[in-house]
A and B are shown apart, each in its own frame.
Chain A
Amino acid sequence: MKVTLISIPVRDQEKALKFYTEKLGFLKKKDVPLEGGNRWLTLVSPEWQDGPELLLEPAPNHFEPCKVFQDALMEAGFPYTQFDVDNVDADYDRLIKLGVEFSVKPTKMGTVKFAVFNDTCGNNIQIVETL
């Protein structure tokens, strides 16, 4: 078995696609039309295009418990998932300029530095630099 996919619940796939590609810099890899306007939509890191894919999943719109869970995480400030970066401060500066809202500014914690931002699609996302 291989780990190849990370799923993120989003309220609006098109909006998520724009945010994750235009602001965060991911690349679209697969876009398969499904029923009811839903899509199998995956992204990859530009520097690791054969790495794991990020699935932007419209689950909160179709499965109430997913929405409840997502809302609870957002409310408590918990990141839904996290991405590795080389330099948290640099990405923080870059994203702030693009209008991204952070709930946690770059913060050191032991052997990592991290920050948390709002992906505008229902999730807090954490970026982490290992020191």
Chain B
Amino acid sequence: MTFYQTEIERIRKICYSNDSQIETVIATRNYIDNNYDKNLKLDFLSHIRFTSKYHLLRLFKRYYGQTPRQYLTDKRIEKSKDNLKNGMTVTETCFAVGFESLGSFSKLFKTKTGKSPSAFQKEQLSRSKLDLEF
């Protein structure tokens, strides 16, 4: 066994010994992955995992290093990039990934990617057109 494997085992015992907590956060993350386009509320998430909202929030953050809300936002932005690349309109994209207001979607998209959704799309589409021309 290498030193790395010994260290991994040591850290696993200290940080990852609570299987039911791990199972809960993994299920929560999967739930977000499969339902990011819906109006997700943490109350509902905690309800299906039989735990309190604040406990679930703390657990998720403890194991994934970000809150469920932050994870959901990243997921939605990632999916919206795919949709925009595939030619979906900005408005359609906004609602398809679960945002409820075009203004907040555009603002968030720009904060996360450095570009507005329409600028991002223009760039992506012109890039694929360029690929065809050269």
User: Do the two chains bind?
Assistant: yes
Closest to B25 in A: A111
Q: In this assembly, does B63 line the interface, its C-beta being within 8 Å of a C-beta of chain A? A: yes
Task: Report A-chain residues with C-beta under 8 Å of the C-beta of B4.
Answer: 76-79, 104, 116, 124
- A109 near B2 with CB under 8 A, answer no
- A110 near B5 with CB under 8 A, answer no
A107 to B22: give the CA distance in the assembly, Å: 15
Partner of A110, one of B2, B3, B22: B22
Which residues of B1-54 have CB atoms within 8 Å of chain A's CB atoms? 2-5, 8, 12, 15-16, 22, 25-26, 29
Closest to A110 in B: B16
Q: Is the interface of A mostly helix, strand, loop or mixed?
A: strand
Q: Give, as a whole number of angstroms, the nearest-CB distance from A91 to chain B.
A: 19
- Per the CB 8 Å criterion, the residue count for chain A at the interface is 14
Q: In this assembly, does A34 line the interface, its C-beta being within 8 Å of a C-beta of chain B? A: no
Q: Is the interface of B mostly helix, strand, loop or mixed?
A: helix
Task: Report B-chain residues with C-beta under 8 Å of the C-beta of A76.
Answer: 2-4
Q: Give, as a whole number of angstroms, the nearest-CB distance from A41 to chain B.
A: 23
- Per the CB 8 Å criterion, the residue count for chain B at the interface is 14
Q: Give, as a whole number of angstroms, the nearest-CB distance from A84 to chain B.
A: 13
- Number of A-B residue pairs, CB cutoff 8 Å, is 37
As a 0/1 sequence over residues 86 to 112 of chain A, the CB contacts with chain B under 8 angstroms (1 = contact) are 000000000000000001100101110
- B63 near A110 with CB under 8 A, answer yes
- A104 near B5 with CB under 8 A, answer yes
- B3 near A109 with CB under 8 A, answer no
A76 to B4: give the CA distance in the assembly, Å: 6
Q: Give, as a whole number of angstroms, the nearest-CB distance from B72 to chain A.
A: 15
Q: Give, as a whole number of angstroms, the nearest-CB distance from A15 to chain B.
A: 24
Q: In this assembly, does A1 line the interface, its C-beta being within 8 Å of a C-beta of chain B? A: no
A100 to B64: give the CA distance in the assembly, Å: 30
Closest to B65 in A: A111
> B-side interface residues toward A, CB under 8 Å?
2-5, 8, 12, 15-16, 22, 25-26, 29, 63-64
24 contacts between A and B (CB under 8 A): A76-B2, A76-B3, A76-B4, A77-B3, A78-B4, A79-B4, A103-B2, A104-B4, A104-B8, A107-B8, A109-B8, A109-B16, A110-B12, A110-B15, A110-B16, A110-B22, A110-B63, A111-B16, A111-B25, A111-B26, A111-B29, A111-B63, A116-B4, A130-B64
Contacts beyond the supplied A104-B5, A110-B12, A131-B29: 9 A-B pairs with Cβ under 8 Å: A76-B3, A103-B2, A109-B8, A110-B16, A110-B22, A111-B16, A111-B22, A111-B64, A131-B26
